[in-house]
Amino acid sequence: MLSSKEVLEKTGISRATLNNYISSGIVPRPEVLPPGPQDGGAPRIGYFPAEIVERIEEIQRLKREGWSLTRITGHFTGGAAPARPAAALQEPPSPPGRASPGPASGAGEMPRLSFGEISHPAYLVNRRFELVWMNDAAASTAWPNFVPLPRDAVSQGIFQYLLQGLGRGPAVSAASRTAILRLHLGLARQLGTGLAEVCRGVPPGELPALERLYGEAESFEFPLVVRTPVAAAGAGPAIPLYLYALNFREGILFLYVPGGAGSVDMSTLLADPGTKSHPRRAQPPALTQVAVLVTELQDATRLWSELPPEEYFELINDIWAAVDPIFTRNGGTRGMHPAEGMVCYFLPRTDSSYLWNALAAAQQLREAMRRIGKAWELRKGWSTPLCLNTGLDEGLEWHGTLRPGSEGEFTVLGDAVDHAAGASILARDGSVWATRNLVCKLRADERRRLNFGVPRVAAQGGRAPVRSVFARVENLADMDAPGHEGLRAIARVAVTEILDIAADAGTAAPAGSRSPV
């Protein structure tokens, strides 16, 4: 058995990487045992089987060969076939500019990601802006590739190659050089990538300019696709060129695409090669009524600092295991959330009310978290509350699938998502807040089952709810308080706290009593 410290020393990986491997299920969870005499005052020590070193070395080899973490996870859990050593490969090389859909043996071949073959220069980076994958065209020094990438660049920070590559490919204008860097840096800031990660591997002489651009770059909302025009310097080709950035589960895909503004069909560009013989018609975005539920784990950062990594991930998995059936049972569709939280969308159904389904799910989340909190309180002997803070709204919004193929991710874009997310920030200690808009669209019999209101300072001190009223967010919270930045956009939205839901269409249950939904 090896302690986590010994594993890190033998493999050279960081603790964060080890935790990532554990959470992905590609290395076993440690066995927590009492400490030995050599461990000092540590209350517990996690031990791994000795074979973990060989497993991590295999994972690192696959990463160097261009495999994404998604594909590696599939390989070790019975998905993708293992990559063979390069010397043993007998297949003919792929034609220039095309990515092989088979096992990846090098940086120029396509791992099994959620997009298909791409002929334009393309590369994928993860959330730390490390290069995960590149195709053959991304290594070319010919137009339209302005940033030639070396074959050994995979797993390295992308910015060192952006700075070097912009001088090795076709001549690019100074304005376009800056635009390429600003697009990458703006996305890095939006995703929370720190300056230290951005500057990793960058030559010392380039650091001042990169630090200046990072400081000037403004983070911006990242929809499915953003782009910037790129122009050649001097007497370059007259054909226009755009750098596109696309948001995927595996990271951000950058493409250099020649052609005019209307010449790119992203659904065709990213079509899954496995479906080309049986094409699946992409469904266009649709405008429909939808209820949005956003819930976030309270004080997730503090819990991470207080719990051993394996227990923190176990807690998150416990929450997911309890929450997922609730969403399914109430007809919800899960979406993406950037942190330790969840998003669920409820669309109109013929057999039930989508608004009531969202409220019922929120109530059941609250009850499920009480049970999880009790279990962890008994296990840890602590008084730390475990809460999911929930926000709800409803609206006529656009919904659709962000990624083509059978594993496309459902998403909704519009004010309802922002309002629900803001309400979840306002919520504390496991409370549920909904907008006036949602509550007032309930049927009269449904509204009678709700016990809702806004807390006010009582005459004898403390806070007591005023029933069946709403208040603007700006009147309930300090807009300038740390952590309340997300409330400013919904400052004038009227909300109320959902205190409880009655079991039948009679009078709502008194506050403090919890009736089943």
* 72, two tokens: 């590696």
**Is there a contact between 90 and 109 (Cβ–Cβ < 8 Å)?**
no
Model's pTM, two decimal places?
0.46
What are the φ/ψ torsions at residue 470 (nearest 5 degrees)? -130, 165
Q: With DSSP H G I counted as helix, E B as strand and the rest as coil, what are the percentages for the chain, rounded to 5?
A: 35, 20, 45
**Is there a contact between 448 and 508 (Cβ–Cβ < 8 Å)?**
yes
State residue 100's pLDDT score. 33
Per DSSP, helices labelled H in 51-173 are 52-64, 69-76, 159-165
Sheet (strand 45-48) strand order: 2-3, 45-48, 31-33
Range 491-496 average pLDDT: 92
* 243, two tokens: 């750098």
Residue 207 pLDDT > 60, yes or no? yes
Question: Using one digit for the tens of pLDDT, what is the confidence trace for 5-33?
Answer: 888 888 888 776 777 677 667 888 777 66
Helix (H, G, I), strand (E, B) or coil at 386: coil
Question: Using one digit for the tens of pLDDT, what is the confidence trace for 431-479?
Answer: 999 999 999 999 999 999 999 999 876 666 567 788 999 999 989 888 7
Per DSSP, helices labelled H in 135-256 are 159-165, 174-190, 195-198, 207-216
- Percent over 70 (pLDDT), the chain: 67
Between 160 and 497, whose confidence is greater? 497
Distance in angstroms (rounded) separating the CA atoms of residues 341 and 293: 11
Of the listed ranges 164-178, 200-214, 265-279, the least confidently predicted one is 265-279
Look at the block and give the residue holding tokens 């009492």.
34
**Is there a contact between 99 and 61 (Cβ–Cβ < 8 Å)?**
no
Between 135 and 17, whose confidence is greater? 135
Distance in angstroms (rounded) separating the CA atoms of residues 166 and 351: 58
Range 313-335 average pLDDT: 88
**Is there a contact between 420 and 498 (Cβ–Cβ < 8 Å)?**
no
All domains of the chain, ordered by start, with CATH? 2-59 (no CATH), 93-275 (no CATH), 286-501 (3.30.70.1230)
Between 430 and 222, whose confidence is greater? 430
Look at the block and give the residue holding tokens 């496991």.
430
Question: Using one digit for the tens of pLDDT, what is the confidence trace for 339-395?
Answer: 567 889 998 887 789 999 999 999 999 999 999 999 999 998 888 889 999 999 998
Q: Is beta strand 432-435 parallel, antiparallel or unpaired with respect to 388-401?
A: parallel
